[in-house]
Amino acid sequence: MNGHANASGSRRGLHLALEIGVPVVLVGVWWAASAGSESFFFPPLPEILSALRDDWLSTRLTADLVPSLVRLAIGYAIAVAAGVAGGLVLGLAPKLARAFGPVLEFFRFVPPPVMAPVFIIVAGFGDPTKILFIAFGVVWPVLMNTMDGVAGADRVQSEVARAYGFTAAFRVRHVVLPAAMPRVFTGLRTGLAVGVIVMAVGEMVGSSDGVGYAVLDAQRGFAIPEMWAGMIMLGIVGYVLNLLLLLAERRVLFWYRDARETSGKESAR
């Protein structure tokens, strides 16, 4: 027992060291490689970090970052609600899923950025358009993964619950959804990455604030360190949001992780 605990602790320590060590090494390589750079478009890393500190830890924090996060949160919430609900319905109704399959696949592979002019024509400029634009990009991975997760749920368990007289709502809540949750979280994480990208693209078109607008404004003004700083801020936002989602996933799916670890130990024996 102690051997398994020690091995598990060693693995966690190694993973943590890699997660911290590799980014630190890469930043060090970037710092050394860019030191003394005289290129206008590739300034030294210290200059970029100075712009990051001066811009994003002061005025731009509330003027640009907060509006971006608010729009992303609202659009993401709308997409998650619609995607999970739609995926649940289609996953429970195979005939309906086959009927709408071609339409879903079509919109799934339409790159969200190319839809920006359509949203502007239909809804004009403003926050509602940007929010709907984000929701459009996020909803498809959430919907498709939820649908696949629900369709792949164990039918035997559902039939047993039906035989014991449990209602359809009870079976969906306590049998189907828990079985589909690993795929749902896969869709949530994929949708989050798409949402950050779409958020930035939407803010580059007819916007007066936001991280995407700040990057484009710096590029237009040839403020290259500020442009790089905005790009780094986008990466930081995506990383932090993904980390929070991972923590939520581990909390919600603790039973799934424990089951996989137990299965792995039994297979190793």
At 239, the pLDDT band (50, 70, 90 cuts) reads very high
Q: Quick one: how far is CA 250 from the chain centroid?
A: 15
Residue 139 has pLDDT above 60, yes or no: yes
83 vs 267, more confident: 83
> What CATH class is the domain 64-207+239-268?
mainly alpha
Crossing angle of helices 45-56/224-252, nearest 10°?
70
pTM: 0.86
The structural domains of the chain, with segments of one domain joined by +, span 64-207+239-268
Q: What are the tens digits of pLDDT across the range 54-99?
A: 989 888 888 899 999 999 999 999 999 999 999 999 998 889 989 9
Helix axes 2-34, 45-56, angle to 10 degrees: 100
pLDDT of 6 above 80: no
DSSP classification of residue 93: -
Residue 259 has pLDDT above 80, yes or no: no
Reply yes or no on whether the pLDDT at 264 is more than 70.
Answer: no
pLDDT of residue 268: 47
Residue with structure tokens 């498709």?
144
Q: pLDDT tens digits, residue range 212-233?
A: 999 999 999 999 999 999 999 9
Among the residue ranges 35-39, 192-196, 223-227, 258-262, the one predicted with the least confidence is 258-262
Q: Of 129, 125, 124, 142, nearest to 77 (Cα)?
A: 142
Give the model confidence (pLDDT) of 151-188 as tens digits.
887 777 777 777 767 777 878 887 888 888 999 999 99
What's the pLDDT score for residue 142? 96
